[in-house]
Amino acid sequence: MKDIQGMPGTLGGLVLRFFQFAFAAVSLCVMATTSDFPSVTAFCYLVAAVSLQSVWSLSLAIVDIYALLVRRCLRNSRIVSLFTVGDGITSTLTFAAACASAGITVLIGNDLDNCAVNHCTRFETATAMAFLSWFAVSPSFLLNFWSLASK
């Protein structure tokens, strides 16, 4: 397998993992600080999905830091397969949760015109951060999947 930036064990991969973690953590913190998010199932799902995304991305960032420090190659097909499956699952969950939260946010804000009572800005911010986390995890998944397919 070629050494492509964005793959596990590269500086580009570490940067992607950092952004995945940062966006997911911000989404989690913003949504968790609203008092009424547990009343909506989609928002609870968003909290669960970005929590999983945060743990996954932070774990792989630590693995990337270790690989960079000891100059170890992480392009073993079993490791890349594990990363690909994990990225695929977490990205799908994060995207689905962000879409569900966006739908509820539009319903509350535009259709019900009920933003005065709810935390629409926080809901929108958390949803946007979840989408940004998904945008950051997509290149990791695609690069890992491509490297497996091109073997």
pLDDT tens digit string along 26-48? 999 999 999 888 999 999 999 99
42 part of a folded domain: yes
User: Could you tell me where the DSSP H helices lie in 33-109?
Assistant: 41-69, 77-106
Q: How confident is the model at residue 136 (pLDDT cuts 50, 70, 90)?
A: very high
- pTM summary value: 0.91
Q: How many domains does the chain have?
A: 1
Q: What is the CA radius of gyration of the chain?
A: 17
Contact criterion met (CB below 8 Å) for 19 and 12? no
Distance CA 62, CA 48 (A): 21
Q: Hey, what amino acid is at 100?
A: A
101 part of a folded domain: yes
Find, among 5, 43, 18, 33, the residue nearest to 137 by Cα. 18
Is the per-residue pLDDT at 22 higher than 90?
A: yes
5 part of a folded domain: no
The parent domain of residue 74 ranges over 11-143
pLDDT at 119: 86
Distance CA 104, CA 94 (A): 15
107 part of a folded domain: yes
Higher pLDDT, 20 or 75: 20
Instruction: Give exposure, 94-121, as e/b (b: 16+ Cβ within 10 Å).
Output: bbbbbbbbbebbeebbeeeeeeeebbbe
Q: How confident is the model at residue 83 (pLDDT cuts 50, 70, 90)?
A: very high
117 part of a folded domain: yes
Q: How confident is the model at residue 97 (pLDDT cuts 50, 70, 90)?
A: very high
4 part of a folded domain: no
pLDDT at 41: 95
6 part of a folded domain: no
